[in-house]
Amino acid sequence: MRMYDLIYTKKLGGALSPDQIAFWVKGAADGSIPDEQSASLLMAICWRGMTTEETLALTLAMRDSGKRMNLSSVPGTKVDKHSTGGVGDKTTLILGPIVAACGVPCPMFSGRGLGHTGGTVDKFAAIPGLKVELTDAEFIRSLAETGFANSAPTGDIAPADKKLYALRDVTATVESIPLITASIMSKKLAGGADALVLDVKCGPTAFMKTLEDAQILAQSMVDVGSAHGMQIRALITRMDAPLGWAIGNALEVMESVEILRGEHGDSELAQMSFRLAAEMLIMGGAAKTLIEAQALVEACIQDGSALETLRRFTALNGGDAKALDDFGRLPQAGQTVDILSDRAGHLSAMDGRALGLLAMDLGAGRKDRNDVLDLGVGIRVHGRVGQRIAAGDRLFTIHAKAGARIDPAPYLATLQITETRPLATPWLLATIGC
């Protein structure tokens, strides 16, 4: 088989066979196919797309490029969640303990952040001592003993994805629905869960800018998961303003704990986390209907068992569980600076991507894969879209390194303040799958 022929076929819009796809993925991962040929094929896929059969074959070949977790020693239907990424998205920290507290095992491999979105692993790393790279045995022990396990993926889960993602990153080929599908689903299938809830973000600050594209991506992932015997369902959710009040790692731990304590229950972040958790409980067999599942979620917040599960997960994996009750033990910023509104009106839009980039500049996120984060810095967002504000109202509190100069202008530029109240838009745009 010659890589040249694969590139030529795809350049003309033809379909590749499963054998051809397996040949490419194996060669890309072991280095026998040069990067320039893989990069050419990636670009051809970006332009010409892939059939459902090709996407399935690509996902399988990438899954089988490394090890597959065997979670069969833990009883029950194991349910995972994946979000395509948003600014301030800390739903994993909230729903993982909720789902586990309701008796459904929740195994999750999460990523580190790059660019304007933070990574779940970085948020967990803000809990002092918490081990965020677990061995297989530690991962399974955490799942068995606390019902929840979260770890950065080890290098041997879908290593072909690592190689191909790095090439996509430098060849402007990240935004391709079959490539995104295979990248995400190969890791999820290798992770060993039986069921998966997807949170596909849609909006100006997400990968998928339109509802139509988000629906195509969601359907593509649902098709691949179902074809491999996974129970799978996708929620398409709006992504424009940051999710919740916190952007930045330790701040996001604080907000997650507050929600697990029963605070901010009417916020979009809480509502979204509770709904995703409820979907997971249905898939895990703990509830039959959404109403039943939502009642279980509510009960484990009210009786404190969800927060207690997070404490037990933290302690078991070497973390300081007292920091969840005493936020002074979490990493702190050197200084805080308030940013006040320079005018009155309705807060009608907030640019989450721009705020994510500002948080990255403060040190909360990575510009480059090797950057070391400052886990204490970030942004507290005081206003909510739709709210009426007066001149002089506090809009943001910036948690910055000591001595850093904070210019309010780029923060104020992330907001649209208008005379008229904006139309309220729902956070849940569509659902797809079983």
x/- mask, ligand URA, residues 168-207, rule CB under 6 A, reads: ------x----xx--xx-----------------------
Q: Which of 163, 187, 366, 382 is catalytic?
A: 187
168: tokens are 């996509």
**d(C-alpha 253, C-alpha 192), whole Å:** 26
Catalytic residue among 80, 89, 122, 161: 161
> Under rule CB under 6 A, how many of the chain's residues touch ligand URA?
5
Q: Tell the smallest beta-carbon distance from residue 184 to ligand URA (Å).
A: 5
Strands of the sheet containing 428-433, edge to edge, are 79-83, 195-202, 231-238, 428-433
Taking residues 2 to 31 in sequence order and writing x for each that binds ligand URA by CB under 6 A, - otherwise, the string is: ------------------------------
- The reply to whether 168 belongs to the active site is yes
**Cβ contact 218:254 at 8 Å:** no
Active site residue 163: no
Q: How far is the CB of 81 from ligand URA (least distance, A)?
A: 14
- Cα 249 to Cα 119: distance, rounded to the nearest angstrom: 9
For ligand URA, which is the closer residue by CB, 132 or 184? 184
- Please give the Cα distance from 239 to 420 (Å, whole number): 22
Q: Which of residues 60-119 bind ligand URA (CB under 6 A)?
A: none
Q: Which of residues 319-378 bind ligand URA (CB under 6 A)?
A: none
Instruction: Convert 228-254 to b/e letters by CB count within 10 Å (16 or more is b).
Output: eebbbbbbbbbbbbbbbbbbbbbbbbb
Which of 10, 78, 81, 82 is the catalytic position?
82
Catalytic residue among 162, 163, 168, 312: 168
Distances in Å between the Cα of 24 and the Cα atoms of 18, 64, 68, 177 are: 10, 13, 20, 19
Residue recorded with tokens 């879209």: 385
220 is catalytic: no
Rounded-to-integer distance, Cα 294 and Cα 5, Å: 53
Alpha-carbon distance of 289 to 430, in angstroms, equals: 18
Closest contact distance (angstroms) between CB of 407 and ligand URA is 32
Q: Is 65 a catalytic residue?
A: no
* Residue 163 CB, nearest approach to ligand URA (Å): 13
Contact pattern for ligand URA over residues 120 through 159, marking x by CB under 6 A: ----------------------------------------
Nearest of 118, 117, 149 to residue 133 by alpha carbon: 149
Rounded Cα distance between 29 and 35, Å, is: 10
Task: Say whether 382 is catalytic.
Answer: no
Closer residue to ligand URA in complex, CB, 174/430? 174
Cβ at position 84, least distance to ligand URA in Å: 6
CB of 109 to ligand URA, least distance (A): 10
Contact positions toward ligand URA, by CB under 6 A? Answer: 174, 179-180, 183-184
Q: State the catalytic residues.
A: 82, 161, 168, 183, 187
